[in-house]
Amino acid sequence: MARTVIPLTELRGALPIPASSGMPGPLADRRERPLRDLRISVTDRCNFRCVYCMPSDVFGSDYEFLPHAELLTFEEIVRAARAFASLGVEKIRLTGGEPLLRRDIDKLVAMLRAALPEVDLTLTTNGSALKAKARSLKAAGLDRITVSLDSLDDATFRAMNDVDFPVAKVLEGIEAAQAAGLAPIKINMVVKRGVNDRQVVDMARHFRGTGHIVRFIEFMDVGSTNGWRMDDVIASAEIVRRIGAEFPLEPADANYTGEVAERWRYRDGEGEIGVISSVTQAFCSTCTRARLSTDGQLYTCLFAQRGYDLKALLRGGSDEARIAEAAAAIWRQREDRYSEIRTAATARERKVEMSFIGG
């Protein structure tokens, strides 16, 4: 049975921006979590219809995507990014939808690099256009890239992206990114029971020794349309057990506080993998990420129901100091811990779709 289409307007209701508290000292939320990472969605459109993100029975040919005028302009994105950097953001990730569908995305990368030369600037893509754009992205100043790749088996991959896109073209994009100097590349595999879980060892084997890092992600209840069930989740502990049975693993220390992936390295020195365990091992207590949606709403959690409208400030004449003040006020009242309190009931709640705010 087809799932109910959720009107875009129902996913975009904005919360009021709280008044500035004027609190001195380093910026932290109510659980003492700093703001270090900003994910910026540059488009809500994607050329894939992955079953866990944009199922085709919801995001069909009649789905109402944002008109171009409602998208943040490149200049507005840069102004917002500068404001967030003044609050302590050290890493900016461009997401979507599929960010490489945004026209002149390399121009945005260049603008961000010029404005924020010290920020770690990254991008997540499905890889479909990466072969053509890897070199220009690197030349524009992109530091690294993450590619979503849910299977190396062509039939499985085509079924999961639901647009019959071949896995070979994504692998060509990864090769192009490596040649352009965007390595090491992170490969994200969302694992869903009965769909691609039997292929996790194959994925590990393929990229072992290449310098790239595969990160296996538990199937999450992001948004309201992906049909999430706990029964479909393969726990990260099981993924580590399966891979470790063939290629012995040992735990590795986190690269930094708040890193979402738990690191495991091959004992023979042939690289590492990561597991992201939002369902079975919640990491809310160290989450330092904020998300700016395609139309300029600030979300403080991937599982949020409503955002805060920063576009009104960006288009209303506010300077970067005022935007930073508003963002700080929002962050200081943040209490999000969705994954720690997840239940079957909360999983069914209407939440913003991942294609609208990025992963």
Structural domains in the chain plus CATH codes: 8-357 (3.20.20.70)
What CA–CA distance (Å, rounded) separates 144 from 178? 10
Residue 105 parent element (H or E): helix 105-115
Q: Which residues are paired to 301 by β-bridges?
A: none
- pLDDT value of residue 83: 97
Whether residue 312 is predicted with pLDDT greater than 50 in this model: the reply is yes
The average pLDDT across 334-358 equals 74
CB atoms within 10 A of CB 314: 21
Res 351: pLDDT: 65
pLDDT of residue 6: 41
Burial letters for 135-144: b for 16+ Cβ neighbours within 10 Å, e otherwise?
A: bbbbebbbbb
Q: What is the per-residue pLDDT for 5?
A: 39
- pLDDT of amino acid 254: 87
347 has a pLDDT exceeding 90: no
Mean per-residue pLDDT, 226-247: 90
Is 148 strand, coil or helix?
strand
Q: What is the pLDDT of residues 70-120, one digit of tens each?
A: 999 999 999 999 999 999 999 999 999 999 999 999 999 999 999 999 999
Taking only the tens place, the pLDDT of each residue in 139-190 is 999 999 999 999 999 999 999 999 999 999 999 999 999 999 998 999 999 9
Q: Which pLDDT score is estimated for 260?
A: 86
pLDDT at 176: 98
pLDDT of residue 25: 62
Determine the residue type at 250. E
pLDDT of residue 222: 72
Give CA 136 to chain center in angstroms: 22
pLDDT at 163: 96
Say what percent of the chain tops pLDDT 90: 71
DSSP one-letter code for 212: -
Which residue did the predictor score with more confidence, 230 or 246? 246
pLDDT band with cut points at 50, 70 and 90 for residue 1: very low
pLDDT at 337: 84
**CA distance to 59, 126, 161, 222, per residue, from 48 (Å):** 10, 8, 5, 17
Which tokens belong to 44?
Answer: 């809500």
Which range is least confidently modeled, 31-40, 203-212, 342-351?
342-351
Q: Closest by alpha carbon to 126, among 163, 74, 179?
A: 163
Per residue in 253-267, pLDDT (tens digit) is 988 877 889 999 999
Position 305 scores a pLDDT of: 83
When pLDDT is cut at 50, 70 and 90, the band that residue 357 belongs to is confident
pLDDT tens per residue, range 8-23: 444 455 788 887 766 5
Task: Give the per-residue pLDDT at 321.
Answer: 95
Q: Spell out where the chain has E strands.
A: 14-15, 37-41, 91-95, 120-125, 144-148, 186-191, 213-218, 249-251, 262-266, 272-276, 289-292, 297-299, 307-309
Give the Cα separation of 357 and 292 in Å (integer).
6
Contact at 8 Å (CB) between 274 and 239? no
Q: Which residues contact 56 (CB under 8 A, 6 or more apart)?
A: 49, 162
Report residue 3's pLDDT band, with 50, 70 and 90 as the boundaries: very low
Decide if pLDDT at 56 tops 90. no
Residue 244 token pair: 């470790």
